[in-house]
Structure 1
Amino acid sequence: MNLARYCLSNASPSGAKTALEVVGPGAEVLEVWSYDRLTATVLAVAAGLRATGMKTGDRILLRVGHSSDFPLLFFGAIAGGFVPVPTSALLTSSEASAILADSGAGLVLHDGETVLPEGDGIPFLGPDGIQDLKSSPPGSFAESRDGDPAFLIYTSGTSGTPKGVLHAQRAASARRPMYEGWYGISAADRLLHAGAFNWTYTLGVGLMDPWANGATSIVYDGPRDPEIWPGIIEKSRASLFAAVPSLYRRILKYGEVSPASFHALRHGLTAGEALPAGLYSDWKNRTGRELYEALGMSEISTYISSGPDLAVRPGSPGKPQAGRKVAVLRETTDAEDFALAGEAGLLAVHRDEPGLMLGYWNRPEETAAAFRGDWFLTGDRARKDEDGYYWYEGRADDLMNAFGYRVAPEEVERVLASHPQVLEVAVTAVPARAGVSLVTAFVVPRDAKQFDEDSLASYAADHLAEYKRPKAFRIMDQLPRTPSGKVQRKSLRQT
């Protein structure tokens, strides 16, 4: 099992079929890569990396922006038996240096534009070196086993110091339950993903899954203003579009959207943060298209979702995909004690799940601590209803303490987001004085001039227990987010 070989040969597509299409502003086609050309170049990179003297299992740091070179180098490294370490092009030198040191990478590949880490004694290959790799005589796929390391990706750091998540060669084939359980994907599809390549959401949804199904992956390279996306979706003839909820919200706010828009699009896909029920309804009403949510994380990718074969319940990401072992464990015990229907607890995935990470890089204690018996604790809270739908209750480490009660920010956010004057909202506990924190709502109003804070406070009083209600409201132009679109509550606490 070699992950790159699986992705490029699982569906046995015609060699002449388009695997990758890079489009620019106005959806102008900039590059077209057939499956034959893509595979040959990936194998050329693999052979070129072997020629550098790198050994099987060696890590390779990628400092490459949003271009076709990123997937060629990522899959080329895996094809050669090496372990790529993708990183965000937005990282500073010190941030990239920390990842380089922690990963122990023995080679840095860079595009000449991305900020570089400091790495004394470590070889750096720039644009000319990358071109040489792509021009090497193609070799063959390394004979990897399904449990061998494939790639090392670092978490976004929203809950602390970024740490490496090591995935196995089987990680791509373990995504099969998503094909029907979320996408409804086929070889005829053209999938456009709005995210950056370094993110697991993009690597999986934007590249691995379309190629493993013989479909076409569309990559947009250009300005990322929200109003341009309806035109890109339409002119690229995308049949599937994947993005974070916050981008869907901005598309609806700034773009021209109607049921007549993007005629080829069957439905949208979203993950990376919770999809508010109001945003789902707005998208469906404005576009006439479904929007299917999935819940996942860097350590396992998605495992709960809605899809063409599962009716959406607004506010819920759906049910576990076929074959997934998912449970909600009680928070009040260290035993494998399962929560009752409707009871919020810790969301967990069984260690037998083939898509689960091999472990946290060089952190065996943290890896062990992430398990309760045979269950991997995702760090998310959730509840399951009587019909088997799961409802996300936020990160366990985001819980607020209000008058001795534990309160999940997402619960308060769901209520406030349903108020007609609220476009976006994030809730967190903000220190007021020594030993005292106030539940505070940071609100992006639909119309700042007409926003009525008293109306929102009254609405909260009608829908939330007194201890859950925000004690302060702050108006924002926008919420601080990570490059992957997640709200940075830590930044809000310091606002």
Structure 2
Amino acid sequence: MNLARYCLTNASPAPGAGALEVVGPNGVQKELWTYGEIERTILSVAGGLTEKGLKRGDRILLRLGHSSDFPLVFFGAIAGGFIPIPTSEMLTAAEATAILEDSAAAAVIHDGRTALPRGNSLILGPQDLLALKAFEGGDYADTTADDPAFLIYTSGTSGTPKGVLHAQRAAIGRTPMYKGWYGIFSADRLLHAGAFNWTYTLGVGLMDPWANGATSLVYDGPRDPEIWPGLIESCKATLFAAVPSLYRRLLKYGDVDTGSFPFLRHGLTAGEALPAGLHDEWVERTGRPLYEALGMSEISTYISSGPSVPTRPGSPGKPQTGRKVAILTEDGQGEDFAAIDEPGLLAVHESETGLMLGYWNRPEETAAAFRAGWFLTGDRARADKDGYYWYEGRADDLMNAFGYRVAPEEVERTLSAHPDVLEVAVTAMPVREGVSLITAFVVPRTPGRHDETTLAAWAHDRLAEYKRPKAYRFVASLPRTPSGKIRRKALI
């Protein structure tokens, strides 16, 4: 089992079929890679890395920007039995150095533009990259399903980078998403709004379309929100994947109606919770479904709506067919399951094929993430009588309001339903030692329209007293991570 081989050969695509298109403004095609071309180049990279003296299992840190070089090297390294470490081009030299030191990567591949880490690893620059892609020879390494495939870094609750090690079987672990979320076919053209070096793009934008013989479309150009409706249409995209915040901006600034992008079957969204109001506005304006998925770095997505699971606004959907998902009681120690509509800890069974091998060099933290054979995702959720799951936020994001535990997502979900609210983030703001007040940071739908009294009345009618914000702050925008998630800690 080799992840790269699986992605490129699972659907047995014709060598001349389109695998990857890099498109610019107005959908102008900048690059076209057939399945035959992309497989040959990936195997060249695999052979070239071996020729450089790297050994199977060596980690390779990728410091590459948004270009097709990123997936070529990422999948090429996996094909050769190496372990690529994808990183954002926005990382500083110090941040890249921290990852290099923690991973003990044997080599760094960079494009001459991204910040380089400090260390004694082998540095392969732009000319080496050209040579790798042109190398004659190379083949898939004879790896097994449980062999390491790639290592991704995410920030833990302390902000310290934490490596998540995935196995070659991670690609097979994504198969429940094909029908459970995408409804994907070989004739599909999936446009992903993210950059190549984002793991959301590597998985949803590349691994899954390729494993189904479909065409991956990745945009390279200005990111103004008004360009997306025309781009989706000119690319003849049948599926579109983005974070909720991009859908919000697309609807606000783009010219969208039911006649827009006629080839598009439905939209896909993940990365943060999809507000019910945003879902409803997309459906009303476009006449097309918007399917949400809930996942994480450790397992990809495992709960979603899709063609076979009707959307229920505010819920990410149901566990995908074949997934073993449960909600455990928050105060229990063993395999204690929460009752219907009782919030608890969202968990995935340790037998899940797509589950990570573990946290890199953190055996104690890996062991602590499991309880009675279940991996604790760190998310809180509840399940209704129909099997739909309702996200209640990160367990470590819980606010303490005068002794009561409050999930910020619940308050945000309520406030975001107000017609005057474009976006909102809620956090507990310290006012003096030992005392914090729930505070709502609101981006008004109409700039300059600040009506705290109306919002407070809205919350009064819909939230228990201890859950209501005690203060409102109106802001032009919310701080976000490079992947689009709200940074609540930056609000304090």
- TM-score, with length taken from structure 1: 0.98
Alignment partner, residue 327 of structure 2: 328
Q: Does the 8 Å CA contact 1:200/1:301 hold for their aligned counterparts?
A: no
* C-alpha distance in 2 between matches for 1:138 and 1:224: 38
* C-alpha distance in 2 between matches for 1:154 and 1:191: 26
Q: Does the 8 Å CA contact 2:86/2:199 hold for their aligned counterparts?
A: no
Alignment partner, residue 131 of structure 2: 132
* C-alpha distance in 2 between matches for 1:31 and 1:140: 24
Alignment partner, residue 372 of structure 1: 371
* C-alpha distance in 2 between matches for 1:231 and 1:117: 39
AA partner of residue 54 (structure 2):
M
- Mean Cα deviation higher: 36-45 or 333-342: 333-342
- Mean Cα deviation higher: 418-427 or 154-163: 154-163
Q: Describe how 1:140-289 pairs up with structure 2 within 5 A.
A: 140-157=139-156, 160-289=159-288
Alignment partner, residue 381 of structure 2: 382
Alignment partner, residue 448 of structure 1: 447
CA deviation map 1:46-101 (0-9, x unaligned): 00000011010000000001100000000000000000000000001100000011
* C-alpha distance in 2 between matches for 1:138 and 1:8: 17
* C-alpha distance in 2 between matches for 1:388 and 1:21: 38
- Mean Cα deviation higher: 138-147 or 69-78: 138-147
* C-alpha distance in 2 between matches for 1:199 and 1:472: 35
Q: Does the 8 Å CA contact 1:158/1:488 hold for their aligned counterparts?
A: no
Q: Does the 8 Å CA contact 2:314/2:390 hold for their aligned counterparts?
A: yes
Alignment partner, residue 104 of structure 2: 104
* C-alpha distance in 2 between matches for 1:88 and 1:329: 34
CA deviation map 1:438-487 (0-9, x unaligned): 10000000013333110001111111111110000011111100000100
AA partner of residue 107 (structure 1):
A
Alignment partner, residue 414 of structure 1: 413
**CA displacement at 1:196 relative to structure 2:** 2.3
- Mean Cα deviation higher: 199-208 or 236-245: 199-208
Q: Does the 8 Å CA contact 1:7/1:212 hold for their aligned counterparts?
A: yes
* C-alpha distance in 2 between matches for 1:480 and 1:450: 20
Say if 2:404 is the partner of 1:391: no
* C-alpha distance in 1 between matches for 2:91 and 2:170: 26
Q: Does the 8 Å CA contact 2:431/2:437 hold for their aligned counterparts?
A: yes
* C-alpha distance in 2 between matches for 1:270 and 1:158: 24
**CA displacement at 1:405 relative to structure 2:** 0.3
Is the partner of 2:175 in helix, strand or coil?
helix
**CA displacement at 1:209 relative to structure 2:** 0.2
* C-alpha distance in 2 between matches for 1:322 and 1:244: 23
**CA displacement at 1:324 relative to structure 2:** 0.3
**CA displacement at 1:190 relative to structure 2:** 0.4
Alignment partner, residue 46 of structure 1: 46
* C-alpha distance in 2 between matches for 1:100 and 1:208: 25
Report the identity percentage: 72
* C-alpha distance in 2 between matches for 1:181 and 1:254: 31
**CA displacement at 1:363 relative to structure 2:** 0.3
Is the partner of 1:339 in helix, strand or coil?
coil
Alignment partner, residue 9 of structure 1: 9
**CA displacement at 1:201 relative to structure 2:** 1.6
**CA displacement at 1:159 relative to structure 2:** 5.7
* C-alpha distance in 2 between matches for 1:111 and 1:289: 40
**CA displacement at 1:283 relative to structure 2:** 0.5
Q: Where does the alignment leave 5 or more consecutive residues of structure 1 unmatched?
A: none
Alignment partner, residue 434 of structure 1: 433
* C-alpha distance in 1 between matches for 2:44 and 2:151: 22
Q: Does the 8 Å CA contact 1:47/1:136 hold for their aligned counterparts?
A: yes
Alignment partner, residue 479 of structure 2: 480
* C-alpha distance in 2 between matches for 1:190 and 1:171: 23
* C-alpha distance in 2 between matches for 1:115 and 1:123: 15
Alignment partner, residue 292 of structure 1: 291
**CA displacement at 1:135 relative to structure 2:** 0.4
**CA displacement at 1:336 relative to structure 2:** 1.4
AA partner of residue 476 (structure 1):
V
AA partner of residue 263 (structure 2):
A
AA partner of residue 241 (structure 1):
F
The 1:290/1:379 distance shift into structure 2, 3 A limit, reads: same
Q: Does the 8 Å CA contact 1:431/1:438 hold for their aligned counterparts?
A: yes
* C-alpha distance in 1 between matches for 2:192 and 2:125: 26
Q: Does the 8 Å CA contact 1:150/1:167 hold for their aligned counterparts?
A: yes
**CA displacement at 1:225 relative to structure 2:** 1.3
Q: Describe how 1:344-363 pairs up with structure 2 within 5 A.
A: 344-363=343-362
* C-alpha distance in 2 between matches for 1:432 and 1:43: 58
Q: Does the 8 Å CA contact 2:205/2:216 hold for their aligned counterparts?
A: yes
* C-alpha distance in 2 between matches for 1:375 and 1:243: 30
**CA displacement at 1:491 relative to structure 2:** 0.2
* C-alpha distance in 2 between matches for 1:336 and 1:158: 25
**CA displacement at 1:156 relative to structure 2:** 4.2
* C-alpha distance in 1 between matches for 2:282 and 2:157: 28
Alignment partner, residue 118 of structure 1: 118
Alignment partner, residue 489 of structure 2: 490
* C-alpha distance in 1 between matches for 2:83 and 2:302: 24
* C-alpha distance in 2 between matches for 1:159 and 1:305: 29
CA deviation map 1:334-370 (0-9, x unaligned): 2210000000000000000010000000000000000
AA partner of residue 427 (structure 1):
V
CA deviation map 1:254-312 (0-9, x unaligned): 11111111111100000000000000001011111100000000000000000001111
Alignment partner, residue 79 of structure 1: 79
Is the partner of 1:391 in helix, strand or coil?
strand
Q: Does the 8 Å CA contact 1:156/1:482 hold for their aligned counterparts?
A: no
Alignment partner, residue 401 of structure 2: 402
* C-alpha distance in 2 between matches for 1:443 and 1:193: 28
AA partner of residue 93 (structure 1):
A
**CA displacement at 1:160 relative to structure 2:** 2.9
Q: Does the 8 Å CA contact 2:64/2:111 hold for their aligned counterparts?
A: yes
**CA displacement at 1:381 relative to structure 2:** 0.2
Q: Does the 8 Å CA contact 2:68/2:196 hold for their aligned counterparts?
A: no
**CA displacement at 1:157 relative to structure 2:** 4.6
